[in-house]
A = this chain, B = another copy of it.
Amino acid sequence: MTVSDKHVLLMDGPDSKGLIYHVTGVLFRHGLNIIHNDEYVSPSGQFFMRTEFESGNATFDSEALLHELRTTLPEGANQEAITFRLNPKRKKNIVVLVTKEHHCLGELLIRYAFDELDATILAVVSNYNLLQPLVGKFGIPFHYVSHEGKTREEHEQAILRTLAIYEPEYLVLAKYMRVLTPGFVNQFPNRIINIHHSFLPAFIGANPYRQAYERGVKIIGATAHFVNNDLDEGPIIAQDVKEVNHRQTAADMATEGKDVEKIVLSQALKLVFNDRVFISGNRAIVL
């Protein structure tokens, strides 16, 4: 029995006739009021639906509701392949990883301080101690886990020990400038969000603004994406761009780009923390 009033139901699986009718019917019969319903069918026939509803005076048992949704599917539906998830609307618990740059972290901290993040920042972890004073202003634990003198695996193990204290639901890489090993990433499947300082897939890897300058592009950008095992290759959640011109050096572009990076990261986090993002292969479906 849940006491939260607003909930998000996420459904995905192979499309077949009557799926919207099925879900809206079950919610209707339970006296649950749909606030917003959005659905998408991919060209390959995968069905995704996000249904936000409020229970109002009605009470319901989440497990029983999910059971009914799963077991009364219309004829032709592939029950085995369909997934339902039911989340109460609430803040997510996160840990933020950073290196030396403050702009994305500062953005998150200010939003958090004024309750605009849809998340609780449990801690900040960094391989440098430069940003400790900033984090300290906001009364959030800061863990300095240097990579000096450690192998990549040793360093990641040290970070994992710190994360184990907090058990975050999501890791946010707010300009964390080290590549993570598959061993690390696999522990947080679809739960690590990174901001990359280019308009992916352009300028993968190091120094994208330097690359952008040398290529002479007229627009730069930033990309927030889930991290999987290929560098800068996970599903893209949000992107934005900004016009530049030949007068701007790589350093100027980096400065201008920071404004794009921090806003794109914040927008992506808002989508993820509100359960609006499905992952489908290497694509993010935002409903």
Contacts and interface: CB of A to CB of B under 8 A. Distances in A.
Q: How would you classify the secondary structure of chain A's contact residues: helix, strand, loop or mixed?
A: mixed
Interface in A218-258: 218-219, 221, 235-236, 238-241, 243, 245-247, 249, 255
Given A21-B21, A243-B243, A236 B218 contact: yes
A218 to B, nearest CB: 4
What is the copy number of this chain in the assembly? Answer: 4
A46 B212 CA distance: 19
Interface in A260-285: 263, 266-267, 282-285
Contact of A236 (B24, B35, B217): B217
A40 B239 contact: no
A286 B245 contact: yes
A46 to B, nearest CB: 11
A201 interface: yes
Contacts of A20: 20, 24, 34, 37
Interface stretch (A91-99, A102-110, A172-180): A102-110
Contacts of A113: 102, 106, 134
Contacts of A161: none
A279 to B, nearest CB: 10
A186 to B, nearest CB: 21
Interface in A75-112: 102-103, 106-107, 110
Contacts of A25: 21, 25
Given A28-B17, A34-B20, A110-B102, A40 B219 contact: no
A182 interface: no
Contacts of A21: 21, 24-25, 28
B102 A114 contact: yes
Nearest to A221: B219
A116 B41 CA distance: 25
Given A25-B21, A236-B216, A106 B102 contact: no
A33 interface: yes
Interface of A: 17-18, 20-21, 24-25, 28, 33-41, 43, 74, 102-103, 106-107, 110, 113-114, 116, 134, 137-138, 199-203, 214-219, 221, 235-236, 238-241, 243, 245-247, 249, 255, 259, 263, 266-267, 282-286
The 3 residue pairs across chains A and B that have the minimum distance between CB atoms: A216-B283, A21-B24, A106-B110
Given A21-B25, A116-B255, 5 more contacts: A137-B138, A200-B202, A215-B236, A219-B240, A246-B286
